Amino acid sequence: MDTLVTITVVSNSKDSAEKAIDTAFSEIEKLEKLFNFFTPDSEISLINKNAGISEVKVSPDTLDILDKAIYVSEKTKGAFDATIGAVITLYDFYKKVKPEDSSIKKNLSLVNYRHLMIDRNKSTAFLKKRGMYIDLGGISKGYAADKAVDTLKRNRIHSGLVSVAGDIKAFGLKPDGIPWKIGIRNPRIPPNPPLVKGG
């Protein structure tokens, strides 16, 4: 998912732990192939290519994450919207290029989660307007962390921690019986503050 992923588990068996971790990584890799915005044959890319043209048959995982994305969009009254792709594509984050305000305004008309249609009976997804794009960057890492934890639990792991960039999911207790602790660094404090020498 173009980021650092770490999986930590507590187990009495090294072999069981390694097998469970490998299975969880495989689950994340599977989801990456389905959801990747930049891979031309991912299910999300196929939905984007067929925007305004036709429905696309997709996997249960893609239907599930799209359903969750719509739910969050409704709950936030559109503050979160997975159809933001038409605006995201205007930016070049590597070259630090910001588009003109007029371009952003024009493409905002292509951002509307209400135009993302999913049909669970037919296992299809469809964007109503040409030029619309789904970008799951704001939800896919958390979804992947949840699914990796589910995989670990199915492999009889009762305690662990999965971190997909800043999306972290912990379950169970550490070996010393203490709950997992997650820390967030203050973004306003430099990681290594300069030493101040006395005069």
Q: What does the pLDDT read at residue 183?
A: 83
Q: Partners of 167 in the beta sheet?
A: 164
Q: What is the pLDDT of residue 189?
A: 82
pLDDT digits (tens, 9 = 90+) for 93-123: 888 888 899 999 999 999 999 999 999 999 9
SS3 state at 190: coil
What's the whole-model pTM score? 0.86
Count other Cβ atoms within 10 Å, centred on residue 85: 23
59 phi, psi to nearest 5 deg: -75, 165
Compute the CA torsion angle 45, 1, 157, 58 (nearest 10 deg).
0
Token pair for residue 116? 């993302």
Domain definitions of the chain by residue range: 5-171
Q: What was the pLDDT predicted at 22?
A: 97
What's residue 139's pLDDT? 95
CATH superfamily of the domain spanning 5-171:
ApbE-like domains (3.10.520.10)
